[in-house]
Amino acid sequence: MTQLIESAKRLVSESIIAPKGFSAAGFHCGLKHKKKDIGMIFSEVPASVAGVFTTNAIKAAPLVLTKNTVYANEKMQAIIINSGNANACTGEQGIKDAKQMQVLAAAKLGIDENLVGVASTGVIGERMKMDKVEAGIAALQLGGKLENAIDFAQSILTTDTVMKNTAYSLEIDGKEVIIAGVAKGSGMIEPNMATMLGFITTDANIEQSTLQSLLKETTDITFNAITVDGDTSTNDTVLVLANGLANNQTLDEQHPQWSTFVEIFQLVSRDLAKLIAKDGEGATKLIEVTVEGGATDAEALKIAKTVVGSPLVKTAVFGCDANWGRVICAIGYSGCSIDPTNIQISIGQTMVVDKGEPLQFDEAVLTAYLKNHEVKIYANLFQGDGYGQAWGCDLTYDYVQINATYRS
């Protein structure tokens, strides 16, 4: 899956406005101290929309509004996003405020309010400062240049340290199709969505129902396969807008190039997921866990997530300690079917466990490997053909520091 298919290429100027007909904006309106905190994505024409949302029973007001909008209308033309305030646990007023953001954005763009999605991220339980939001929406200047896309990518960040962008170009029916994505992390990141917002734009022509199924399946093996700290947030949202301006034949499972489109769509999602994991709060390293030989794909994925989510594995990676005992321990408590006497574990290129027992290995080689910014752990369980991959990050002093002092 890491080898790119021949007809696709990664775009150097990775940006959400790379597909035809999209523009973006980002601005500082005062919800955060200094950084940009309000942003907008806009498509020249209404786009097919698909969405996945948090599984948390406590759902933020803008998420509820946007979910309803997606299901009711199946088209979306603009998304308005703020950072600095999650607008969660804010009661009736919160719902009114989210609606007001939708109305203000629609009025500014001269489009139907049902074509506008709303997303928020930030502190829970504080009322939105709507005067600042209103001024912010008024001040947004949409544009189709890289700088506009950067303004937007910055405007959705909270404790993230870097922007998260990716984009690929491929050919469908002889037409260039572009799929681009932008996301924010970076705490409360756990399977079944997280404090993450992800936005994918494409100029592909694709039916809404097909897009929704594709997004759901893709989310399970990408955004839901990352974990930073096990906390699932109230605001997690991924939205895809497909505006059809590439003029390809409508994509569905019968289309001869369907698998190509799926592969690149998954790649965009996986890129964003890995960028989020790598930029987990306080993280210094991306950890990738690959499990083969699971009883099923679902079990392999569950085991991979369990290992990458173990605080003891995460601290060991931070400390460059080849403590494979914590890996096998996490495999053991994953709740999946395993044979303790037939487990193989490698860290990087070094096999450390075979048949459930330790092998001799050069500790210095492994310690050196663990100093890399990307650490790969492999396990084979010899239970079946199940395959799964999950991503996370190390657990560091900075994670504690960031989260002990977040509000203050």
User: Binding site for substrate, residues?
Assistant: 158, 184, 195, 281, 403, 408
Candidates 55-63, 137-145, 237-245, 267-275 — which segment interacts with a copy of itself by CB under 8 A? 55-63
Between the CA atoms of 104, 106, 110 and 113, what dihedral angle is there, to the nearest 10 degrees? -130
- Provide the 8-state DSSP code for 282: T
Q: Which of 66, 69, 195, 234 is catalytic?
A: 195
Q: Could you please report the per-residue DSSP string of 283-341?
A: ---EEEEEEEEESSHHHHHHHHHHHHH-HHHHHHHHTT---HHHHHHHHHTT-S---TT
Binding track, positions 389-408, relative to a copy of itself; x by CB under 8 A: ------xxx-xxx-xxxxxx
Question: Rounded to a whole number, what is the largest CA-CA distance in the chain?
Answer: 68
Instruction: Assess 357 for contact with a copy of itself (CB under 8 A).
Output: yes
Q: Could you please report the per-residue DSSP string of 354-381?
A: ETTEEPP--HHHHHHHTTSSEEEEEEE-
Candidates 7-15, 202-210, 264-272, 310-318 — which segment interacts with a copy of itself by CB under 8 A? 310-318
| Minimum CB distance to a copy of itself smaller for 123 or for 142 | 123
Instruction: Assess 284 for contact with a copy of itself (CB under 8 A).
Output: no
| Minimum CB distance to a copy of itself smaller for 30 or for 230 | 230
| Minimum CB distance to a copy of itself smaller for 56 or for 202 | 56
Q: Please choose, from the candidates 391, 393, 390, the residue with its C-alpha nearest in 3D space to the C-alpha of residue 318.
A: 393
| In the complex, least distance from residue 98 CB atom to a copy of itself, rounded to whole angstroms | 15
| Minimum CB distance to a copy of itself smaller for 18 or for 88 | 88
Q: Give the full edge-to-edge strand order of the sheet including 344-347.
A: 357-358, 350-354, 344-347, 374-380, 286-294, 386-393
Cis check for the bond before 186: say yes or no (omega within 30 of 0). Answer: yes
> Binding a copy of itself by CB under 8 A: which of 261, 326, 347, 391?
326
Candidates 69-77, 129-137, 226-234, 285-293 — which segment interacts with a copy of itself by CB under 8 A? 226-234
- Those residues whose C-beta lies under 8 Å from the C-beta of residue 368, and which sit 6 or more positions away, are none
Contact 254, 211 (CB under 8 A): no
Neighbours of 176 (CB within 10 A): 14
> Binding a copy of itself by CB under 8 A: which of 212, 222, 310, 346?
310
| Minimum CB distance to a copy of itself smaller for 147 or for 357 | 357
Q: Residues touching a copy of itself: how many (CB under 8 A)? A: 64
Angle CA 59–63–68, to nearest 5: 110
C-alpha 402/C-alpha 283 separation (Å) is 11
Hey, what are 284's tokens? 């210094």
Instruction: Assess 385 for contact with a copy of itself (CB under 8 A).
Output: no
| Minimum CB distance to a copy of itself smaller for 178 or for 308 | 308
Candidates 87-95, 217-225, 255-263, 266-274 — which segment interacts with a copy of itself by CB under 8 A? 87-95
121 has catalytic annotation: no
Which residues from 155-194 bind a copy of itself, rule CB under 8 A? 187-188, 190, 192
> Binding a copy of itself by CB under 8 A: which of 7, 13, 91, 145?
91
Q: Please choose, from the candidates 332, 342, 295, the residue with its C-alpha nearest in 3D space to the C-alpha of residue 310.
A: 332
Hey, what are 54's tokens? 């948090």
> Binding a copy of itself by CB under 8 A: which of 3, 33, 57, 72?
57
Contact 358, 326 (CB under 8 A): no
Q: Please choose, from the candidates 46, 29, 23, the residue with its C-alpha nearest in 3D space to the C-alpha of residue 122.
A: 29
Instruction: Assess 353 for contact with a copy of itself (CB under 8 A).
Output: yes
> Binding a copy of itself by CB under 8 A: which of 311, 362, 372, 382?
311
Instruction: Assess 229 for contact with a copy of itself (CB under 8 A).
Output: yes
Instruction: Assess 371 for contact with a copy of itself (CB under 8 A).
Output: no
Candidates 27-35, 37-45, 88-96, 241-249 — which segment interacts with a copy of itself by CB under 8 A? 88-96
Residue 212 backbone zone (phi > 0: left; psi -120 to 50: alpha; other: beta): alpha
Q: What sections of 125-224 are H helices per DSSP?
A: 130-139, 146-155, 208-221
- Residues catalogued as catalytic: 195
In the complex, which residues of this chain contact a copy of itself (CB under 8 A)? Answer: 55-59, 86, 88-91, 123-126, 187-188, 190, 192, 229-234, 309-312, 315-316, 318-319, 321, 323-326, 328-334, 338, 340-341, 353, 355-358, 395-397, 399-401, 403-408
